[in-house]
Amino acid sequence: MSPDIHTAIASRLQSCQKPLILSHIRPDGDAIGSIIALGLALKNAGKEPQLVLEDGLPSKYRFIQGSDMVTSKIKGEYDLVITLDCSDQNRLGDQGKGLKVDINIDHHITNEKFGELNLIEPDFPATAEILTENLPAWGFKIDLEIANALLMGILTDTIGFRTSNVRPETLMRSARLMEIGANLAEIYLHSLVNQSFPASLLWGKALSRLVKENGLVWTMITLDDRKEAKYSGRDDADLTNILSSIEDNDMAILFNEQNDGKVKISWRSNPPYDVSWVAKQFGGGGHPPASGAEVEGSLEEVVKKILKFTKQYMKDFHSKGE
């Protein structure tokens, strides 16, 4: 990565006064930890940051200090627009429509580089790790609150350091955050272990439909499931992590019905499959082992179409001897 982009990012961050920081809809721990960490760093530097997640903050992440800064709508003026952990501007939701993005920082290999300045680091397993590496160089100190937010981002996107893209550098940067005082045990408990009762009910309903066939496992979450479980979020309550841990499977798919006539699809795979390529065929993206897309249509139609395509991809992959 050219040093020029780091100089430019540092200059824009230092000179702004009212930065607007956004991330994607149905936010995960990396999106949340990243915007909170950068927001706190800018606030500590005397700025007035505005942190926006259109779907709001899931209750399980509200333990992290700085979470009270997050809102669901843009309010008032801003002089710099920063997006974090978002590969496609459309994934910002309605709040991101028409925005001129000044700085786009992300780790997804499928990032569309929609910002004026694009810092895209696919080798980093979490956007929070990119910030861990660069915040000090940009002139911002990482204090205890920021360290906790960053460690949460890294920990959740690597599912507790167990994804295939975790490198020695990831562990070393995480160790530096712990040296500052970040509480690994507490963050692990709140963000990866604890689940609400509604989320547990949602898991039960979806897992009752679990199917396994030729190395592929899949299930679905319906609108009725969320209603009956009294689960208020549009996300999957981290059920994809459970699917990806099932023995003797090469790939997992979770279909998550949305209330706008669309279905959110999450793929997880083991090497050497590349589900970022599969997701891209449906307008999505992500990483080779973990990707997603949102497809219009009824749940039944989308499930049928996605399963047919994914099964064919796996069959062709094997027939080519890849």
Q: How far apart are CA 76 and CA 51, in angstroms?
A: 12
pLDDT value at residue 307 = 98
Give mean pLDDT, residues 29-36. Answer: 98
Sheet holding 19-22, edge to edge: 70-71, 50-52, 19-22, 80-84, 103-106, 117-120
Cα 130 to Cα 42, 47, 121, 257, distances in angstroms:
16, 21, 7, 32
Q: Give the list of residues 6+ apart from residue 150 with CB closer than 8 angstroms, or none.
A: 33, 34, 37, 128, 129, 131, 132, 142, 177, 182
- Of 135-139, 146-150, 241-245, 262-266, give the lowest mean pLDDT range: 241-245
Alpha carbon distance 236, 245 (integer Å): 15
Of the pLDDT bands very low, low, confident and very high (cuts 50, 70, 90), residue 23 is: very high
- Over pLDDT 70: what percentage of the chain? 98
pLDDT at 89 over 90: yes
Using a pLDDT cut of 90, give the percent of the chain over it. 88
State the average pLDDT over residues 233-254: 92
pTM above 0.85, yes or no: yes
Report d(CA 265, CA 204) in Å as an integer: 19
The answer to whether 226 and 95 have CB atoms below 8 angstroms apart is no
Q: What are phi and psi of 246, to 5 degrees?
A: -70, 130
Cα–Cα dist 34/58, whole Å: 15
266 SS3 class: strand
36 vs 286, residue with greater confidence: 36
Of the CA atoms within 13 Å of residue 121, those in its CB half-sphere come to 20
Give the mean model confidence (pLDDT) for residues 110-121.
Answer: 96
Assess contact for 140 and 41: CB atoms under 8 A: yes
What are the tens digits of pLDDT across the range 43-54? Answer: 999 999 999 999
Instruction: Tell me the mean pLDDT in the region 116-130.
Output: 97
Half-sphere exposure of 229 (CA within 13 A, CB side): 23
For position 146, what pLDDT does the model report? 98
What is the average per-residue pLDDT within 35-58? 97
pLDDT of 223 reads: 96
Range 247-261 average pLDDT: 94
Q: Nearest 5°: phi and psi at 33?
A: -60, -35
pLDDT reported for residue 233: 84
- Given a cut of 60, is residue 322 above it in pLDDT? no
What is the end-to-end Cα distance of the chain in Å, rounded? 30
> Is 298's pLDDT higher than 90?
yes
Bridge partners (DSSP) of residue 194 are none
Closest CA to 147 of 119, 112, 173, 109: 173
Nearest CA to 306 among 245, 264, 247, 270? Answer: 264
Kindly give, in sequence order, each residue whose CB lies less than 8 Å from that of residue 303, ignoring residues fewer than 6 positions away.
218, 220, 255, 263
Rounded CA separation 129/145 (Å):
15
For residue 287, the model assigns a pLDDT of 86
Domains of the chain by start residue, with CATH: 3-192 (3.90.1640.10), 197-319 (3.10.310.30)
Mean pLDDT estimate for the chain: 95
In the chain, the DSSP E strands lie at 19-22, 50-52, 70-71, 80-84, 103-106, 117-120, 211-213, 216-221, 251-257, 262-269, 285-287, 290-296
Report whether pLDDT(2) > 70: no
| pLDDT exceeds cutoff 80 at 3 | no
Q: How confident is the model at residue 191 (pLDDT cuts 50, 70, 90)?
A: very high
pLDDT for 321 equals 64
How many alpha carbons fall within 13 Å on the CB side of residue 154?
30
Omega within 30 of 0 (cis) for the link into 272? yes
